[in-house]
Amino acid sequence: MKDNKTAVSVKNLIKKYDSAGNITCAINGISLDIAYGDFLMITGMNGSGKSTLMHLMALLDHPSEGELIIDGNDVSKLHEKNRIGLRLRLLGYIFQEYALIQELTALENVMLPAQMLDTFPKAKKKAEILFKKVDLEKKMKRLPSQLSGGEQQRVAIARSLINNPRIIFADEPTANLDSVASKHVLDIFKKLNKEDNITIVMVTHEPEELAYASRVINLKDGKLHVK
């Protein structure tokens, strides 16, 4: 059942980059609402602004102009400490390159975000449960180098869930995976969305993946593009 509150609200969002006096507008006046319970996919050609938009909504970057509200919080009015706290407690992240620490076991990687919160004493038990959720309970003690690409991405999914986020942002999470591993990852996303009511915001450029989404938006030249 979907929550009545809006998960993410974006109003006239703009992101500009200044390179030696040359201004590039990567996001140009986007307005968008994402409801709790959505599985939103963001599509578009390379350079369209997909990842930039996701990074702004995920609080991994700051907009140049516009309004961004996360779970009812006007992010522009938050002190940086509160912004970090919101990010840790509400949001989960999955990246194209997995972003695992090679010297840590899969289990230690999953537990890592919990070290920054008071949930850490229970993190090991929670992590073990999450490994079952992503079908990797027998590989918790392996290093990332001992896992396949698909397995590493499933470790990254488990890590994103350790602090019980309500929204997960995934930036082209299947880009480095074969079709079998990609389907496994997407099936996990679908299950998290349907059974755990976790809102998913995912960047993709693969047309066959769009069937998993409840909603799809397309970007072109930093703007929402209606086909």
To the nearest whole percent, how much of the chain has pLDDT over 90? 77
pLDDT tier for residue 227 given thresholds of 50, 70 and 90? low
Contact predicate 150/184, CB 8 Å: yes
Query: For 11-21, what is the mean pLDDT?
Result: 90
Specify the pTM. Answer: 0.91
In this prediction, residue 3 carries a pLDDT of 53
Burial zone of 86 (CB within 10 Å; 0-12 exposed, 13-18 middle, 19+ buried): middle
Rounded Cα distance, 188 and 48, in Å: 27
Total domain count for the chain?
1
Beta strand spans in the chain (E)? 6-19, 22-35, 39-44, 65-70, 73-74, 91-94, 167-171, 199-203, 215-220, 223-224
Residues 6+ apart with CB under 8 A from 76: 67, 68
Domain membership of residue 68 (yes or no) is no
CATH number, domain containing residue 158: 3.40.50.300
Domain membership of residue 166 (yes or no) is yes
Domain membership of residue 48 (yes or no) is yes
> 202 or 113: whose pLDDT is higher?
202
150-179 pLDDT, tens digit per residue, is 999 999 999 999 999 999 999 999 998 999
Rounded Cα distance, 68 and 174, in Å: 27
pLDDT tier for residue 226 given thresholds of 50, 70 and 90? low
Rounded Cα distance, 179 and 4, in Å: 35
Domain extent for 177: 38-62+80-224
Domain membership of residue 18 (yes or no) is no
Query: For 208-218, what is the mean pLDDT?
Result: 95
33-82 pLDDT, tens digit per residue, is 999 999 999 999 998 999 999 999 999 999 999 999 999 999 988 888 88
Q: Two tokens at 88?
A: 């840790």
Contact predicate 106/142, CB 8 Å: yes
**Closest residue by Cα to residue 45 from 203, 209, 215, 208:** 203
Domain membership of residue 137 (yes or no) is yes
pLDDT tier for residue 22 given thresholds of 50, 70 and 90? confident
110-155 pLDDT, tens digit per residue, is 998 888 776 667 888 999 999 999 999 999 999 999 999 999 999 9
In this prediction, residue 1 carries a pLDDT of 43
